[in-house]
Structure 1
Amino acid sequence: MAINSEGRRYALLQAAKDSDYVKKVYGGYYNVYVEAFGEVGERWDLFRVCEQEFPDFNELHKYDGFVITGSSNDAFGNDYWILKLCFMLQILDAMEKKVLGICFGHQVLCRALGGRVGRSNAGWDIGIRQVHFVKDLVPYSYLNQHEMPASLNIVELHQDEVYEIPLGAEVIASSNKIGVEMFAVGDHILGIQGHPEFTKDILLNLIDRFLNMDVIKEEFAEDLKLQLQIAEPDKKCWRKICRNFLKGTCIG
């Protein structure tokens, strides 16, 4: 079924500052996310929440959906902007607005709604990982389960994870390293631990940055680069899932 995107309005809640590489190549993370999830005729407003830029709470009803980006901050941190973001997410949940959380966004969404997040006991998860969908799910329209494979590859880059999902939520995907790769609340909340918006070049640049900052060791970095030569994320499928979710219908 085709979607009429004309007049739809979305808010991108950017929780990370633009890297020099992403600014140079893509013009900023805003363009990366809108390219991945947006469609012609839509309006996407940017709010750099990590720099205290928030939508007017009295205008939240004007938006068809919200996307929370990844971040270098911890979702369990108590920075003022993180606490304010949690409060706003609680309001959006009560309004049953569409909210898509990516990586940090997935974790902070979980925290805001009463779940538990923290540092992963398994350490950094970087690279391309196979995510397995839970069998016998409640039929979420955006997954289009008649066409969905049992698993999909996705780019991962995180050291925190969801420990416990909120009351009323459902785990819809996991991996051999992370128990909660995706969770949903009804048809209006979706969290994804991986990065459906990332391209391989963005990940490669981040690996080099992490190596230069001594976050990871050279041997680990070389192994990751080798993996990226032979493995591919299922970008088209992930982007379709995210677009299906945000638009509130299934693209046939």
Structure 2
Amino acid sequence: MGGGYGEGEAEGRRFAVLLCAEDSEYVKKVHGGYFKVFVSLLGEEGETWHVYRAARGELPPAEDVDAYDGFVISGSCSDAHGDDQWIRDLLSLLETLVSKKKQLLGVCFGHQILSRALGGKTGRAKRGWDIGVTCIHPSHSTIKQFSSLHIPSHLPIIECHRDEVWELPPNAEVMAQSEKTGIEIFRYGYHVMGIQGHPEYTKDILMHLIDRLLQLNLIQNCHAEAAKASVEAGEPNREAWKKLCKAFLKSQL
């Protein structure tokens, strides 16, 4: 079983993060790892949270799945359209979780892999990398449906991706788009939601990620400079994202 968080507190609901990336040294040192970054965004007192390191092949066994109320699928350095064994195993688990109507919240790679598990298509973004603070636009129907959350029509978020959802799964709905990306958020029923951006990221995490991508020659200097400028100029609406993600994951919509 994955590592725990919050056990021993009042018995409450149980959630798990399926971690699809390795922690960077920076995130480990400053934030205690990506798992803690997610729990600080989504966790509440009385809940129990576990982490499964999916990229290492660690997934909840079938007999444990029913014990959880919801799952968060994280970002990754891998491609959601890839065929590594751990990705195939994750897809199989996600299909099971969808059939059990578990609350599933996918972020970046998680958004793309959920789309794939449901029959959608993913691949390299047609407009290339999107890194920095990007303003996305929820649809009128989304704003209306979730009126109790008071979601603004302009919703800045931290982005860091070069892949995207090309084609929605059957019966899924686009909830938001941006200038670069046609499917920023999608929903499938009331139990699956994918978000292309990173509601859990802080600006410092992104700044260090930009430097790492530059060192690995995955982006050019001009990309890095533009991304850093957008981070300095813009502010992600962390509170709005926190409300939306928590309300969805905890079936309060």
Q: 1:237 aligns with which of 237, 240, 251?
A: 240
Question: Who is 1:72 aligned against?
Answer: 77
Could you say which residue in structure 1 is the equivalent of 2:177?
174
Gaps (5+ residues) in structure 2? 1-9
Describe the SS at the equivalent of 1:77: coil
Tell me, yes or no, if the aligned pair for 2:123 and 2:163 is still in contact at 8 Å. Answer: yes
**SS state of the match for residue 135, structure 2?**
strand
Distance 1:167 1:202, change over 3 A: same
Higher relative contact order (CA 8 A, sep 6+): 1
User: Counterpart of 1:136 in 2: which secondary structure?
Assistant: helix
What residue number does 2:228 align with? Answer: 225
Aligned to 2:140: 135
What residue is the counterpart of 2:5 in the other structure? none
Q: Deviations over 1:169-198 (max 9, x none)?
A: 101100110000000011100000000000
2:128 to 109, 123, 133: 123
Q: Deviations over 1:97-139 (max 9, x none)?
A: 1000000000000000100001111111101111111123496
Q: Secondary structure at the match of 1:16?
A: coil
Q: Is the contact between residue 130 and residue 151 of structure 1 (CA under 8 Å) also seen in structure 2?
A: yes
- Select 1:153's aligned residue among 147, 152, 156: 156
Note if contact 1:47-1:54 (Cα within 8 Å) is conserved in structure 2.
yes
For the 8 Å contact 1:7–1:41, the answer to whether it is kept is yes
Identity percentage over the alignment? 48
Shift of 1:162: 0.2
1:19-38 to structure 2, matched below 5 A, reads 19-38=24-43
TM score, norm. by length of structure 1: 0.93
1:18 aligned counterpart, secondary structure: coil
The runs of 4+ residues in structure 1 deviating greater than 3 Å are: 137-140, 143-146
**Within 5 A, what are the aligned runs for 1:166-205?**
166-205=169-208
Letter paired with 1:40: E
Q: Deviations over 1:43-70 (max 9, x none)?
A: 0011000001110112211101000000
Distance, in Å, in 1 between the alignment partners of 2:231 and 2:117 is: 34
The answer as to 2:84 corresponding to 1:88 is: no
Is the CA contact 1:6–1:40 (under 8 Å) kept in the aligned structure 2? no
- 1:146 positional shift: 6.3
Q: 62, 83, 86: which is aligned to 2:67?
A: 62
Separation in structure 2 between the aligned mates of residue 149 and residue 234 of structure 1, nearest angstrom: 9
| Residue identity in the other structure for 2:198 | H
Q: Which amino acid aligns with 2:220?
A: K
Q: Deviations over 1:59-101 (max 9, x none)?
A: 2111010000000000000011111111111111111110000
Residue deviations 1:189-242, cap 9 Å, x none? 000000000000000000111111122222331222222112100011001100
Counterpart code for 1:69: S
1:86 aligned counterpart, secondary structure: helix
Encode CA deviations 1:140-187: one digit per residue, 9 max, x unaligned: 4xx345622112000000000001111111011001100000000111
Specify which of 101, 107, 120 is matched with residue 102 of structure 1: 107
1:114 aligns with 2:131: no
How many Å separate the matches in 2 of 1:51 and 1:146? Answer: 36
State how far apart, in whole Å, the 1-side matches of 2:127 and 2:179 are. 11
| Whole-Å separation in 2 of the counterparts to 1:33 and 1:107 | 18
Gaps (5+ residues) in structure 1? none
For 1:128 and 1:222, locate their aligned partners in 2 and report how far apart those are by CA, in whole Å: 13
How many residues are paired up? Answer: 244
